[in-house]
Amino acid sequence: MDTLTVVGHPLAGHLLAGLRDAATEPERFRHLARRLSTVLVLEATRGLGTTTTTVTTPLQDTPARILARPVVAVPILRAGLGLLEAATDLLPDVRVGYAGLERDEQTLQPTSYYLKVPRLDDASVLLLDPMLATGGSAAFGATVLKEHGATDLQLVCVVAAPEGVARMAAEHPDVRIVTAALDDGLNDVGYILPGLGDFGDRLFGTF
């Protein structure tokens, strides 16, 4: 799976352990999610292109490297909001879009109920979706962003199931996936095992 990157940093594993723990309360869950998201976004931006410019220090001019393209972060609502703060902290000039997806009760397929994105065709785009389970939401989100101009797209998630990774590889082989863990698989109702439960509910305390 050439498009899959499982972050091996010790801090990623340590922070993920706290997120998996059923005893972790929402306030601490949010804190851990923010810290782990920072590690994931750092990995996702590792390969961004740079260009050379000149900046003036208090003493003299000096060459400097800056990002060659803008970066856009697009969380899938609502759980993706738990990953957004890391992107805005690390990238103060980041553009932010929002994608609201829900499952159609008749077709069981994801549909878009809200989409607000900036220009995407000139940018490196980070799609933020914490749980890559069946891959339905992430694949649909990637399709929607491509329809709006995205050509350089990465998916950032906390944990991924093999089923979701396989679906993304089949439908979007050009999209790199950055995650803290590749878990065992899905149970009979589509939850990732061992996973960490419903990320959105644990993030916002809506049990």
Kindly report the CATH number assigned to the domain that includes residue 137.
3.40.50.2020
**Total number of domains in the chain:** 1
Tell me which residues are annotated as active site.
Answer: 103, 107, 198, 201
Evaluate if pTM is beyond 0.75.
yes
Q: Is the pLDDT of residue 150 over 80?
A: yes
Quick one: pLDDT band at residue 185, thresholds 50, 70, 90? very high
Mean pLDDT of the 142-164 span:
97
For residue 38, is pLDDT > 70?
A: yes
Helices (H) and strands (E) in the chain — how many of each?
6, 15
Q: What is the mean pLDDT of the chain?
A: 94
Position 54 in a domain: no
Amino acid code (one letter) for 90: L
For residue 64, the one-letter residue type is A
Q: Which domain holds residue 83?
A: 4-48+67-204
CA distance 160 to 98: 21
> Is the pLDDT score of 106 beyond 70?
no
Q: What is the pLDDT of residue 108?
A: 55
Q: SS3 helix, strand, coil % of the chain, rounded to 5?
A: 35, 30, 35
Q: Is residue 61 part of a domain?
A: no
pLDDT, residue 102, reads 79
Give Cβ neighbours of residue 133 (< 8 Å, ≥ 6 apart).
Answer: 161, 163, 164, 186, 190, 191, 192
Q: Does position 104 have pLDDT exceeding 70, yes or no?
A: no
Q: What is the mean pLDDT of residues 58-83?
A: 96
- Residue 62 falls within a domain, yes or no? no
Domain membership flag for residue 60: no
71 found inside a domain: yes
